[in-house]
Structure 1
Amino acid sequence: MTVQDSRLAPNSSPDLSSKAPRTMTRKRWVIIWLAFVGLSINYLDRSSLSVALPFMGKDFELSATQQGLIFAAFFWAYDFCQLAAGWYVDKVGPRKSFTLAAVWWSVFTMVTAFAQNFWSLFAARFLLGVGESPAPSTAAKVVATWFPVRERAFATSIWDSGSRVGAVIALPIVTLIVAFTSWHAVFIIIGVAGLIWAVVWWKMYRSPEDHPTANDEERAYIREGGARSAANDDADAAKLPWRSLFKYRTILSMMFGFFCLNSAIYFFITFFPSYLVKERGFDLLKLGLFGAIPGICAVAFGWLAGYVADRAVQRGVSVTRVRKTAIAGGLIGGSVIMFAAVVPEAWMALALLSVAYSSLTVAATGIWSLPADVAPSSRHVGSIGGLQNFASNLAGIFTPVLIGVLVDQTGSYVAPLAVIGLVSLAGAANYLFVLGKVEPLKVPASAAA
């Protein structure tokens, strides 16, 4: 089978070890880095409120419970739109889904600047959640479409790191804007950035077959390496109804495990800045400088984990072993978050939180590779991404409220961080003992019919 003139048959195995020809274009890397920028803006929008909220006291008098409800409002909309979002991504493709999502979330980011009380802030966050819901499933679909199996983990680590980068840059960017202007300007500036990115994505993105500057060598390399596309789909598998995905233990395990991961990650997206300010005494300057350390570490370790995973696959290690090692190991490492609230010094807490966040990012790289790994056809990648993201973001609904209530009741973060650590361990056990083999789901003929 030559790189130039063959196609991967539906039931054949992808070539995981061949190197890319030197004459091949590398447009797939341009595409994934553009998706990374989009996810960075996406999470910057999402994280900006958590950074700005401690400094919005002149306009809002909110208890910790009310803050938790406002954070949760985003996830109520974001989460329950996931089920439709994954299907929508598979239906219209990444170009349309990402562009529309970016325009929507940018508009309602700007609307946040005009909120005047609890309920208007609540509504703005709710509608922001609707707009952001297609983004992760779209990025997973982009990787499945543009990347062979042997490059899938690193490509996933790139776009997924946008969530960490967005959260990291939110700290210095938001604090700087607040210091020189006001919290209102934060949401206007970030919203405009999202609109600009939407225009760029619409102009630049195409599928590998339709991209005007990708050459035939790159298209063949992507296709023969196991990228998911209609040309490589099994006809019966492509007919599997969306609702039938819930019958697979693999899918249910992915949904529960991602819920456990996000129970920890969403502490960093919501209450982390407030924890540093109120529990560890960080002022505006310290928050902007030292508060970014866990996120920076998480980005670096996420990229490293993706690179190492792809190298292992290229050397012949099974995809199942590679994915489970990254995911379960990352969740076990993330459980150290439970000790951050009990150490006496702020630097100790920051070190433990850096270890936890980095480990959780390693797990996320493996988790977001799974939809492309297990989808029975290319028409199910976005749908499976939406299903597991739906379950994961139930944590976004419950975790902020749980943290807020426990902080109000106990006066500290010891209890909520202990709960989060134990949930992370439960997630690790799930991926080790429940998930099963990582491979495309088998579709019985009766199910396809």
Structure 2
Amino acid sequence: MAVYIAESLPEAPTAAPTAPRTYAWIVFALTFGLLLSDYMSRQVLNAVFPVLKAEWALTDTQLGSLSSIVALLVGLLTFPLSVVADRWGRVRSVTLMAALWSLATLGCAIAANYNQMFAARFFVGVGEAAYGSVGIALILSIFPAHLRATLSSAFMAGGPVGSVIGMAFGGVIAAQFGWRWAFGAMAAFGLALVVLYALIVRERRLRAPDGTMPVAQAARPGLRTIFSGLFSSVSVIAAYVGSGLQLFIMAAMLAWLPSFLNRYYALPTDKAGVGAAIFILVGAVGMVVCGIVTDRLSRPAPERKWTIAITYSLTSAALLLVAFRMPPGTAQLVLIGAGMAMVAGTTGPAGAMVANLTHPSIHATAFATLTLANNLLGLAPGPFVTGLLADRIELMGAMQLVPLAALGAVAAFAVGKRHYADDLKRIRTLQR
């Protein structure tokens, strides 16, 4: 088993892609497009928080629950559904999942009350549960290994970019035509992409030039092998935990920035959505830039990824802590933007370390485990806990506490860095 894991540990020289390069980028574009749809469907809700609060007389806790239920379902179901996808076929799984979340988003458009909206959001979560992990595993299987941090951060940047589109266009559509049309537009976009994906992406076309299947598709590991590989070292567990805790902050920002701008800057729904979208876009660009920087700085010394992740966490926390303790104004907005540029910078380093510390044949399940940690530790509790705090100490007070979650992320990454060399030495010793 130690040999099995060690095969993927070194950040080896670039390997040839396992699919024709042009087709690989087409697959990336379509898979990225569906990730946009995923987050557009998930985050359009945040743009209409003020409208739903007024129309249905909802509390901030109820609003937070409508956002958190999706992340909670993603956290609970991502692992089992990713195991199924690794064995049943990633392309078929992606197509089915995207169709489900798009139809569920259409259900949100016709919801008549809080309970019906909650049920529709439940099924949005079921559909989106394993998409992130299966999608990134599919992408990594057809690109060189030395691009892992860049590809991981670029792909996962689809989350905040989709959130930007969902909140910005959702807010504008809601202001012009009503909040139901905002959900309907997101559903239509998702269903159109599902059709394109089903027509263009084929499992059989993800073959190497010599006709062989990529490792991730050719190998069908047993459950015992999968579980052993997922938790093979302290370092990989630290990567899971650190990533999840850091994304608590990002999740809170995604959910509550439109309401923050609405309440403290007196912006109407459409302008608040667009304003929040700009901040999330800054976060998306920051994710990609941070991933590229991570790959460049850590190429001669892979262990630097831990130090870089710690730096991103501490810097973003410091900026946001200062920002939310300032009075509303230009200076506050500038510092929020600076913090957002780095708050999800740990996505690339964490994704790269998970890929390096697990075998390609279980990458979908490994990223499912990472997604599980991201959702249960960050994306699910972030909006709900912030809403819970806001009902008691106002939204500004809640936002002042949110960045403290980065301290937990820093501790986890520090543990990973401390054990990384020993984990490598232990595995290499067993390999002899």
Q: TM-score, normalised by structure 1?
A: 0.83
TM superposition shift of 1:84: 0.9
Letter aligned with residue 310 of structure 2: A
Between the aligned partners of 1:398 and 1:29, the Cα distance in structure 2 is 34
Is 1:403 the counterpart of 2:386? The answer is: yes
The question of whether the paired residues in 1 share the 8 Å contact of 2:140 and 2:151 is answered with: no
What is aligned with 2:292?
Answer: 307
Where do residues 159-178 of structure 1 align in structure 2 (5 Å cutoff)? 159-178=155-174
Aligned to 1:263: 248
Which ranges of structure 2 fall in alignment gaps of 5 or more residues? Answer: 1-5
Shift of 1:368: 2.3
Distance 1:310 1:273, change over 3 A: same
**Residues 86 and 365 in structure 2, CA contact (< 8 A), matched pair in contact too:** yes
Shift of 1:348: 2.5
The one-letter code sitting in structure 2 at the alignment partner of 1:210 is: R
Deviation at 1:113, TM superposition (A): 1.0
1:85-164 aligned within 5 A: 85-164=81-160
The alignment status of 1:16 with 2:13, answered yes or no, reads yes
Give runs of aligned pairs for residues 377-392 of structure 1, distance below 5 A. Answer: 377-392=359-374
Deviation at 1:400, TM superposition (A): 2.3
Q: Which amino acid aligns with 1:252?
A: I
Question: Residue 3 of structure 2 corresponds to which residue in structure 1?
Answer: none
TM-aligned CA deviation for residue 441 of structure 1: 11
| 2:345 aligned counterpart, secondary structure | helix
Cα 1:301–1:412 shift into 2, 3 Å: closer
For 1:421, the equivalent position in structure 2 comes to 403
> 8 Å contact 1:44–1:170 — kept in the other structure?
yes
Q: CA deviation at 1:264?
A: 0.5
Deviations 1:86-117 (A, max 9, x none): 21232223201211110010010000011111
- What amino acid is the match of 1:35? T
* Equivalent of 1:365 in 348, 353, 359: 348
- Secondary structure of the residue aligned to 2:225 is coil
1:411 offset after TM fit, Å? 2.3
Cα RMSD of the aligned pairs, angstroms, is 3.3
Tell me the residue number matched to 2:257. 272
Give the whole-Å Cα distance in 2 for the aligned partners of 1:333 and 1:254: 18
Choose 158-167 or 142-151, whichever is displaced more: 142-151
- CA apart distance, 1:243: 6.0
TM-score (norm 2): 0.86
Q: Offset at 1:359?
A: 0.6
Q: Please identify, of 162-171 and 349-358, the stretch whose mean Cα deviation from structure 2 is larger.
A: 349-358
Give yes or no for contact 2:164–2:280 (8 Å, CA) kept in 1.
yes
Give the Cα–Cα distance (whole angstroms) in 2 for the partners of residues 247 and 239 of structure 1: 12
CA distance in 1, matches of 2:9, 2:238: 26
Aligned length: 419
Inter-partner Cα distance in structure 2 for 1:66 and 1:17: 49
- Alignment check: 8 A CA contact 1:230 1:378 kept: no
Aligned-residue identity in percent: 21
5+ long unaligned stretches in structure 1: 1-8
- The verdict on how the C-alpha distance between 1:306 and 1:93 changes in structure 2, with shifts beyond 3 A counting, is farther
CA distance in 2 between counterparts of 1:238 and 1:67 reads 38
Aligned partner (choices 333, 351, 355) of residue 338 of structure 2 = 355
1:327 is displaced (CA, Å) by: 2.0
Q: Determine the structure 2 residue equivalent to 1:181.
A: 177
User: Aligned in 2, Cα 1:142/1:370: closer, same or farther, shift over 3 Å?
Assistant: farther
SS of corresponding position for 1:319: coil
For residues 45 and 239 of structure 1, the distance between their equivalents in structure 2, rounded to whole angstroms, comes to: 35
Q: Distance in 2 between matches of 1:301 and 1:228?
A: 31
2:282 is equivalent to residue 287 of structure 1: no
Partner amino acid for 1:277? N
Q: Is the 8 A contact 1:257 1:428 kept in 2?
A: yes
- Contact (CA 8 Å) 1:371, 1:382: kept in 2 or not? no
